Amino acid sequence: MITSFRILFTINVAHGYYSDNCRDFDFIVPADTGGKLRNGKLLAKVRDGMLYVLYEADDAGAALIKMTGASLRFGLKLRNPLFGNITDFSVPTPLYRNSLTAGSLAPAMEVAMTGRLFSHAVTKSDRPVTVTVNAPTGQPLQAESITADNDRSTVSFDLTGQTPGLYMVTEQYPYGLETVPYYFDAELLQDGIFGMVEIRIDSGFYNLPPSFTINFNAKQETIKYYLVASNHTASEFNHLAVVDNGFSEEGRSRINFTRIPSSSFTSDEIPSGMIAKTGDRVVLFKSQTVVARHEKARKKIQLSRNGDVLIKHLPQPGADKTSGDMIIHISRP
């Protein structure tokens, strides 16, 4: 018999900053998932930033072992230290899981990564409250009651001997319930992972393998061109302009800029004295809307004077820039 493998599912990371796949992450396989892969005759391989999970099939293409109902866990390890400069993300430590329709991902859940021992900060000062840590199955594991007489602001829990996964800490008050999600994995906590992915294998995966996509939005910001002009007369300086002449050619929305004299700079702007020397003139051209970052700079955002193009393609903030502030020096003989 010839050994063959077929795709069970894939996980791709898409990012608005990149034209192609986002390759900013590694997929880390924890020990328990590694065991499931071996026992289920599965392989996990990363190619061009995409995770492929494959199953071993017989000559007819059927899986040698079906792992229906099993959950595979993967840690997302961030490789790009500049990721925060290009990304707009609101969930600091996300957990991605497939939804009730098993072939798609549910919205990311914010979790707190934890090891075997952790301290939970009670979210409210009201008393009494019963604080309970619940296993991934929903089973209560440990509960602590806090009253006005034994008041404290934290509760400690020990998950030694428990399986890795999503644990819910509930706070039961007389008037309602508060829930805080924790993700227990001592192994991946040491790896300093960015987030977690859990995929529950559905029977339909073997016939129609799903392609899961984790989406990140590019950072949006105001672009600010600070023009520092040396040896310019007032007339020459006043005729400087920043114009987007490439929007039609590239099929995108036009970026309009507002001219702001240095005398009108606010506390949000760089003081002109920090970027210019005595005798220089400074003006700011500020985009009227926020602009999403992209690895390929937009073409023909131009600096001109009296209609003559001085700079055909103005620079734009890349991954190494923390803000949209760009300082341009120009000089006449």
Mean of the per-residue pLDDT values of the chain = 97
C-alpha–C-alpha distance, residues 196 and 118, integer Å: 19
Q: How many CB atoms lie within 10 A of CB 70?
A: 15
Mean pLDDT of the 201-219 span:
97
Give the tens place of pLDDT for each residue, 141-153.
999 999 999 999 9
**Contacts for 59 with CB less than 8 Å, ≥ 6 apart:** 1, 2, 4
Predicted local distance difference test score (pLDDT) of residue 250 = 97
Third-level CATH fold of 116-184: Immunoglobulin-like (2.60.40)
Mean pLDDT of the 106-112 span:
97
Q: Check pLDDT > 80 for residue 1.
A: no
C-alpha–C-alpha distance, residues 198 and 22, integer Å: 19
Burial class (CB in 10 A: 0-12, 13-18, 19+), 90: exposed
C-alpha neighbours within 13 Å on the C-beta side of residue 256: 3
Mean pLDDT of the 86-99 span:
94
Q: 261 preceded by cis ω (within 30°)?
A: no
**Contacts for 121 with CB less than 8 Å, ≥ 6 apart:** 153, 154
Closest of 33, 51, 42, 48 to residue 6, by C-alpha: 42
* Three-state DSSP class for residue 261: strand
Proportion of the chain above pLDDT 70, given as a percent: 100
Give the tens place of pLDDT for each residue, 12-56.
999 999 999 899 999 999 999 999 999 999 999 999 999 999 999
* Three-state DSSP class for residue 312: coil
Predicted local distance difference test score (pLDDT) of residue 100 = 84
pTM (2 d.p.): 0.92
Mean pLDDT of the 111-139 span:
98
Give the tens place of pLDDT for each residue, 263-317.
999 999 999 999 999 999 999 999 999 999 999 999 999 999 999 999 999 999 9
Q: Check pLDDT > 90 for residue 244.
A: yes
Proportion of the chain above pLDDT 90, given as a percent: 95
**Contacts for 158 with CB less than 8 Å, ≥ 6 apart:** 116, 117, 142
Boundaries of every domain in the chain: 4-109+187-218, 116-184, 220-331
Contact 51, 104 (CB under 8 A): no
* Three-state DSSP class for residue 39: helix
C-alpha–C-alpha distance, residues 25 and 83, integer Å: 10
- From residue 58, alpha-carbon distances to 63, 202, 204, 287, 326 in Å are 6, 19, 18, 59, 59
- From residue 279, alpha-carbon distances to 74, 96, 133, 224 in Å are 59, 56, 67, 22
Contact 297, 313 (CB under 8 A): yes
Closest of 217, 181, 190 to residue 97, by C-alpha: 181
C-alpha–C-alpha distance, residues 197 and 158, integer Å: 24
- From residue 228, alpha-carbon distances to 73, 240, 260, 271, 282 in Å are 53, 11, 13, 12, 5
Contact 189, 77 (CB under 8 A): no
